[in-house]
Structure 1
Amino acid sequence: MKAIAYKITAVSMALLLLATTTSWKVEKHFCMGHLVDMAFFVDAQDCGMDMVSESDSVATIDKKSCCDDEVIAIEGQNDVRPSFNDIDVEQQPFLVAYTYTYLGLFEPIAVQNIPHKQYIPPKIVKDIHLLDDVFLI
């Protein structure tokens, strides 16, 4: 149960880190008030009806286009690297002790020598408790 909780926590923290560091962009293209295209992470395709304003030498007339673009962008976090300059003097002994004990978990266990491993136990021929009349009460 404890191992499953650790795995769920690790996966959820990894997904949270991925979600916060990724930049999200949703772009929508409307033509005459109707949604034509919607795209995630890339530019939406236009309908091809964008009006190009032509500039005359005398005056420039801006005509309002029938198309609208809507962009929803969320910038991701870029500074996720830990800064080792922020470690205080009080935190250094803790980090050293934690690292030492963590690395100590992975040391190989010494093989124990069992001297009577090759010997088989003797076969019981008679029940000693009945012969000696010794019973547990």
Structure 2
Amino acid sequence: MAFLVLLSTISFTMEKHYCGDTLIDVAIFSKVDSCCDMDATAITAVEKKSCCKEEIAVVKGQDNLKKATFDDLSFDQQVFLTTLYYSYLNLFEGLPEQVIPHKGYSPPNLVTDIQVLDQVFII
């Protein structure tokens, strides 16, 4: 949702530079490189028309966003959202706390291995 809002509100400018009828440079976030000298065009602007041409395309994003709060909703919508939120929270139950009855009990120390002493082995 945030990505959609970001894409709908972004705006940028695309500049194209032509020399004659050929496209020389396209820039979106920077200035275009010109093939004409600025000093030469300033001097000869009166004498002849320059062959360079620049096009600027502006893509404007949405800049009037409406921020809605819970109080702006109607009473029916508030009841619906409240019950949806409450039922969603109660949908999942937590795991019960496991009681380990012999948690503090430590096993006795083995003096001898009884299975080896009685020669009883499970096969």
TM over 0.5: yes
Residue-by-residue CA offset, 1:28-61 (whole Å, 9 max, x unaligned): 111122212111233212224342279xxxxxx5
Structure 1 pair 93–26 and aligned structure 2 pair: CA distance change class (3 A): same
Within the alignment, does 1:41 sit opposite 2:29 as a pair? yes
CA contact (8 A) 2:36 2:52 kept: no
| Structure 1 vs Structure 2 CA RMSD | 3.4
Aligned residue number for residue 121 of structure 2: none
- Tell me the distance in 2 between the aligned counterparts of 1:100 and 1:16: 28
Flag structure 2 segments of 5+ consecutive residues without an equivalent: 102-123
Aligned residue number for residue 4 of structure 1: none
CA contact (8 A) 1:27 1:44 kept: yes
Structure 1 pair 96–23 and aligned structure 2 pair: CA distance change class (3 A): same
Secondary structure at the counterpart of residue 86 of structure 2: helix
CA contact (8 A) 1:25 1:40 kept: yes
Within the alignment, does 1:91 sit opposite 2:81 as a pair? no
CA contact (8 A) 1:21 1:77 kept: yes
- Tell me the distance in 2 between the aligned counterparts of 1:62 and 1:96: 75
Aligned residue number for residue 65 of structure 1: 50
* TM superposition score normalised by structure 1: 0.51
Report matched runs for 1:75-114 at 5 Å. Answer: 75-80=60-65, 82-84=67-69, 86-104=72-90, 108-111=94-97
1:19 is displaced (CA, Å) by: 2.6
Q: How many residues align?
A: 97
* TM superposition score normalised by structure 2: 0.56
